[in-house]
Amino acid sequence: MPQTPVSSAVSEPTDHPLSGFVVAIDGPSGSGKSSVSKQVARTLGYAYLDTGAMYRALTWWCLDRHVDLDDPAAVAAAAEDFPLDIGTDPDAPHVLVGGADVAEAIRETRISTSVSKVATVIPVRELLRLLQRQLISKAGAARGGVVVEGRDITTVVAPDASVRILLTASEEARLARRSRELHGDADETSVSATRAQIVDRDRLDSTVSVFTVAADGVTTVDTSELDFDGSVRAVLHIVAAARA
């Protein structure tokens, strides 16, 4: 995908029809969406689209341009000029903004703690939804299938996906996972330091998307009691059943 501003990238006819086999995965923060989706895509030889990375990259772009994140109109205006180039190879999912490699920067705490301000701006969501459908369509056509994960993929971005899954886990399990990832530990102090990045973010994000209960036709996979490989197997099982 060339680095054209998002608004011109989606100025061609909207709502691209999906191509290939599309696996849509939503869920709350820390449920394992990114890591599980990436592994499922690798196993199936499919493309992988991390839509959260798109919201994170836009947040990086806004902060880089000193846009006031508390001003929704300013954030929406910045989204119109957003020069995003995001890859869909699960082994090397690059994220470039205006040519700058931001793949690591978008994982920093300053982004995680402010991304919801950007993701709750409705015109931003509509712009990214159109771009996401365009990316899904291209990637699905190129690789025969694509695994797409986020918060509103099963309900808003790709309700017409071949398989729709809500990947969930208890708050306790999600806090412990993210705490281990960030602090190498899941003791009381680490879990409490992680809470803002899980619970507070989900609270804000759930004002614009439904990702804690499965919509009609969406299959719930609760990973609270599963390890990583078990979660991947559970998703692959659902995909295999749908393809049979």
Ligand X SMILES: Nc1ccn([C@H]2C[C@H](O)[C@@H](COP(=O)(O)O)O2)c(=O)n1
Ligand Y SMILES: Nc1ncnc2c1ncn2[C@@H]1O[C@H](COP(=O)(O)OP(=O)(O)OP(=O)(O)O)[C@@H](O)[C@H]1O
Binding site for ATP: residue ranges? Answer: 27-35
Least Å from the CB of residue 204 to ligand X: 7
Q: 190: which residues sit within 8 A by CB, 6+ positions away?
A: 179, 180, 182, 183, 184
Which range, of 80-88, 150-158, 176-184, 233-241, touches ligand X by CB under 6 A? Answer: 150-158
- Interface with ligand Y includes 125 (CB under 6 A)? no
Q: Give the one entry of ligand Y, ligand X, none that residue 90 binds, where binding means its C-beta sits below a cut-off of 5 to 8 angstroms depending on kind.
A: none
- Interface with ligand X includes 214 (CB under 6 A)? no
The secondary structure element, H or E, covering residue 93 is none
How many angstroms separate the CA atoms of 73 and 215, rounded?
A: 30
Least Å from the CB of residue 25 to ligand Y: 9
For residues 204 and 116, the answer to whether their CB atoms sit within 8 Å is: yes
**Residues composing the chain:** 244
- Interface with ligand X includes 55 (CB under 6 A)? yes
- Interface with ligand X includes 152 (CB under 6 A)? yes
User: Nearest CA to 156 among 26, 57, 33?
Assistant: 26
How many angstroms separate the CA atoms of 6 and 83, rounded?
A: 6
Tokens at 20, concatenated: 């290939």
For residues 148 and 158, the answer to whether their CB atoms sit within 8 Å is: yes
Q: Give the one entry of ligand Y, ligand X, none that residue 209 binds, where binding means its C-beta sits below a cut-off of 5 to 8 angstroms depending on kind.
A: ligand X
Q: Give the one entry of ligand Y, ligand X, none that residue 75 binds, where binding means its C-beta sits below a cut-off of 5 to 8 angstroms depending on kind.
A: none
- Interface with ligand Y includes 90 (CB under 6 A)? no
Cα 230 to chain centroid, rounded: 21
Residue numbers at the binding site for ligand Y (CB under 6 A): 27, 29-36, 52, 177-178, 181, 223, 226-228, 231
Residue numbers at the binding site for ligand X (CB under 6 A): 29, 51-53, 55-56, 115-116, 119, 150-153, 201, 205, 209
